[in-house]
Amino acid sequence: MTAGIDTPDRRGRTGLDRTGLDLSGNPRVKVREVTLLSSHWYVERATTFDFRHADGTWSTQQRETHDRGNGATMLLYDTERETVLLTRQFRYPVYVNGHPDGMLIETPGGLLDDDDEHPEIAVRREVVEETGHTIGAVRHVFDVYMSPGSVTERVSFYAAEYGPSTQTHEGGGLDEEGEDIEILEVPFRGALEMIRAGEIADAKTIMLLQWAALEGPFAR
């Protein structure tokens, strides 16, 4: 008996070795076998499939995928004061891969609780937990696959206004999840300069700031 296949893993999941076997949207791809490599908090799989090339020939290929679920993130902005609200927290993966101290500046956000949770619900919750702001109307900007070569995650991007009236909680993250999040209010033009200087190096944050400058609330 294997956790994640025959018996529930730590998140109550079974049948993780069957994901992808029923895919039929692309006639050039025939999934043959899915092997569960690891099922801890996230899921690692090796999938073998046949692929028909543009010249009509077929080849058998194998890819490993990292499934951490889907996520959502939000740019909080104040057009009157021309500021944005960002967070800073320790991220070990970037620290071990060359970031000077691992303290990454980001837009607030996080993972969906499960596959059925709507991204807007998830991001509203994360914004309250991380920044303490309960925002009103939100704008869906776009959905992005952040690292499609190996990671299945799709991130939904949102934007919303914030201000003194939207602050309802303390923020800073959840103690039970070991979060220690600093809240940063930054002039919007200063945030763009931080990208150029390498002080903001998080992809989702850069994408939302550039969107805000090109066609969002700070577009000219």
Are both 60 and 76 inside the same structural domain? no
Encoding tokens for residue 12? Answer: 């109550």
Are both 42 and 134 inside the same structural domain? no
Percent of the chain with pLDDT over 90: 86
Are both 36 and 97 inside the same structural domain? no
Output the domain CATH number for residue 169.
3.90.79.10
Examine the pLDDT at 40 and tell me if it is beyond 90: no
Cα torsion 139, 108, 216, 152: sign: negative
Residue 123 in 3-state DSSP?
helix
- Examine residue 35 and state whether it is found in any structural domain, yes or no: yes
Counting the structural domains of the chain, the total is 2
Residue 22 confidence (pLDDT) = 96
Examine the pLDDT at 150 and tell me if it is beyond 90: yes
Give the residue numbers spanning the domain of 94: 71-214
Residue 4 confidence (pLDDT) = 87
pLDDT band at 95 (very low <50, low <70, confident <90, very high): very high
Q: Give this prediction's pTM.
A: 0.94
Residue 13 confidence (pLDDT) = 87
